[in-house]
Structure 1
Amino acid sequence: MKKVIIRTDASIQIGSGHVMRCLTIAENLKRQGCLVSFWMEPLQGNLIDYVKEQGFEHILEAEHADLYIVDHYGIDEKWENIHRKYTNKIMVIDDLANRSHDCDLLLDQNVVPNFEKRYKTLIPQNCKTLLGPKYLILRDEFIKARQLFNGEKRNVERLLIFMGGTDPTNETMKVLQALTETSPIFHHVDVVVGNGNIQKDKIKKICQERGYYYHCQIPYIASLMQQADFSIGAGGSTTWERCYVGLPSSSTIVAENQREATKYAAELGAVLNLGWHNEVTVEMYSNLLNTLKIEKQPLDKIRKMGLSLTENEVPNPWINEIMELLA
């Protein structure tokens, strides 16, 4: 049995995205017969208990393993080189291309300008790269939702709000306030938060008072995306998940690492970019909500572009590359 250690973290500041996509990789490796452990620090807003609930061991220091998978913006080639003594192979998941890595396999699922070449000087010559949305890290629920997508044009009656697991810039509360100033009445509003959202109790209370549907740390976000007509979300990996299931959406940039990919996705026509969170006001969300019911055609164009950018012949082809690395 091959042993794999995933080095990643979640916190109020970091968010939950790294851990969530690593859980998808871990589940796929588990099906292949691998023993997977998570090395995570007990930061405020961590997901250690959640990872344990999914059936994976948690460790707090280096151990010997056949493969280390690193998904962490604070780790570079210095850390990777030091930990070579514990492992035969190292895989890195990155989005930034802003530091050098000592790794054998690198995965970046984002579409940004020059995405196919930007790691060339940052990795060893013999490192294999998996770049672009062909290598999206997708849970089974997203793959199923894509298969069920029928491509029909719909009026915007059902709204999904999900600003990331921790929502550090409090965008969810802005959107909820904007909904009180919006003339169109949405028949169904889903509001999704993660355990790390410090406003979750207040958000839950508002949802109960208004008849919205509140969801916390859920494993069925793809199902909600599949049923929604439009989503107000944050930048990051969930942007590409929305594209993958054919859900037109807006993205608010809530972290610096989301800036480049969100801008480029908007330039390509796959998402509406509302901009940097400090500049996105309640009034901007309200204006967006007011226009949704009268702009059906532009939303259909966004849907089609998102589907086109994320099209792949075989979902999650990265699993075969990882297993080849472990062979």
Structure 2
Amino acid sequence: MVEHHIAFRTDASSQIGTGHFMRCLTLADSLNGRGTRIRFISRHLPDHLRSILVVKGHELVLLDSVQNELALDELGHARWLGVSQTQDAVDSIRALSDGHWDWLIVDHYALDSRWETMLRRTVKRLLVVDDIADREHDCDVLLDQNLYTDTKTRYTSKVPLHCKLLLGPRYALLRDEFKRLHDKIKPRSGPVRRVLVFYGGVDEDNYTGRTIELLFDINIRNLHVDVVIGAQHPCCEQIKSQCTQHGYVCYVQTDKMAELMATADLAIGAGGSASWERCCLGLPALLIALADNQINIAKALDVFGACIYVGRSGTTCIQDLRNAFCDLLNNPDRLKVLSDTAYSLVDGMGVDRVCQETGF
């Protein structure tokens, strides 16, 4: 078997979140099992995520971390990069200069066709992971695993004519444990006895803490609550204290997410990439969008009947969440419809399909 050399360019931080890194890691882990050399190139990456790469045996090249509040080009997320796209391209080319690379996979809102064109001299083929469709790309494959009402036209005139488009949740990048559990899970149809609270790896406005107090205040008898937060959560100690006080179970940077979702009757959380994990396991959800790029995902899932979109953080008060939660408790038929619809959208085979379509 010929070893493939595949590089990833992605970042994670309190501003960027961890979703971009985690979906790249999911794909990298699968490729690593297929006899592939993996290298991550990152400018911003917390220590605990660096450690994960080391444990999993992936290479990591860290670019100089620069904090720059100025937008260095017109892209809406330009501040995420810290440097100009040209400088980042030069640094990335240098990070790949010690060998040949079959693929470069890019998952970064601050990079577009200008950066990608510069990297083409270094790599054979380029795959872009995107979900906001706000810029042009110079790539061979574009992957957008999300669900939209305008999925088929989102990237018109934004990619080269030869670019292969992998669109929709059938390409959702989920870890193997979700695929294994998909066929074993049953749609939720009974009363809500177990709730999972998870607002993603970064929850700057602490909707986690607010939701904990909401559930305690409603005071449902014998309700089991699991709370999951990332290691970087700004209110980590406070949340652990709240959970201890109320008899809830708190998990920090857990590797048991699939198991927790499989045993839950209802999830309360954000509208990010965890949406596809919940769908794969038929878990109904009440969603609050914590970032602009989550709004369209949550709205589309709501339209398709796979979740209930409560609203955007900052404009959504906790009372809206309370009302939605109480309404769902009193409507088990709707809970079942949400579960059935979510389950039908994602089968956990996304990584396999991406590998098949690209020849990884």
User: TM-score, normalised on structure 1?
Assistant: 0.94
Which residue of structure 1 lines up, in the alignment, with residue 42 of structure 2? 40
Following superposition, the deviation at residue 293 of structure 1 comes to: 2.8
2:138 to 81, 102, 110: 102
Q: How many residues align?
A: 324
- Match of residue 193 from structure 1: 229
8 Å contact from structure 2 (residues 301, 307) kept in 1: yes
Change (3 A) 1:47 1:314: closer
How far apart, in 1, do the equivalents of 2:220 and 2:105 lie?
A: 46
Deviations 1:172-202 (A, max 9, x none): 0110121232032343110001112111111
1:27 pairs with one of 25, 29, 39: 29
Match of 1:274 among 307, 310, 314: 310
* Residue 175 of structure 1, aligned match among 205, 211, 229: 211
Over residues 190-240 of structure 1, what are the superposed CA-to-partner deviations in whole Å (9 max), with x where a residue is unaligned? Answer: 000111211111111111222211111122201100000000010011112
Q: What's the secondary structure of 2:267's corresponding residue? A: strand
Q: State yes or no: 1:165 paired with 2:201.
A: yes
For 1:197 and 1:314, locate their aligned partners in 2 and report how far apart those are by CA, in whole Å: 29
Give the Cα–Cα distance (whole angstroms) in 1 for the partners of residues 347 and 60 of structure 2. Answer: 34
State the partner residue of 1:217.
Answer: 253
Q: Which one of 96, 105, 128 corresponds to residue 63 of structure 1?
A: 96
- Summarize the Cα distance change of 1:161–1:27 in structure 2 as closer, same or farther, 3 Å threshold: same
Counterparts of 1:162 and 1:289 in 2: how far apart (Å)? Answer: 15
Of 162, 169, 176, the residue aligned with 1:133 is: 169
Q: Kindly tell me: are residues 168 and 46 of structure 1, through their superposed partners in 2, closer, same or farther at Cα, counting changes over 3 Å?
A: farther
Contact 1:7–1:72 (CA<8 Å) still a contact in 2?
yes
Offset, 1:31: 1.2
Q: CA deviation at 1:275?
A: 0.4
Amino acid at match of 1:117: T
Aligned to 2:87: none
Q: Residue 4 in 1 paired to residue 6 in 2?
A: yes
- What residue number does 1:231 align with? 267
**Change in CA separation of 1:46 and 1:104 when aligned onto 2, cut-off 3 Å:** farther
Moved more, 261-270 or 289-298: 289-298
* Residue ranges of structure 2 left out of the alignment (5+ in a row): 63-91
1:103 deviates by: 0.5
Q: Does the Cα contact within 8 Å between 2:6 and 2:102 map onto a contact in 1?
A: yes
Instruction: Say whether the 8 Å CA contact 1:104–1:127 is kept in structure 2.
Output: yes
Conserved 8 A contact 1:109-1:137: yes
Identity of aligned residues (%): 36
CA RMSD of aligned residues (A): 1.8
* Displacement of 1:45: 7.7
CA distance in 2, matches of 1:119, 1:203: 40
Change (3 A) 1:155 1:102: same
Give the secondary-structure state (helix, strand or coil) at the position aligned to 2:121. Answer: helix
Amino acid at match of 2:144: D
- Taking the aligned partners of 1:235 and 1:39, their CA distance within structure 2 comes to 27
Q: Bigger CA drift: 208-217 or 95-104?
A: 208-217
Q: Are the structure 2 counterparts of residues 98 and 178 from structure 1 closer, same or farther at C-alpha, using a change threshold of 3 Å? A: same
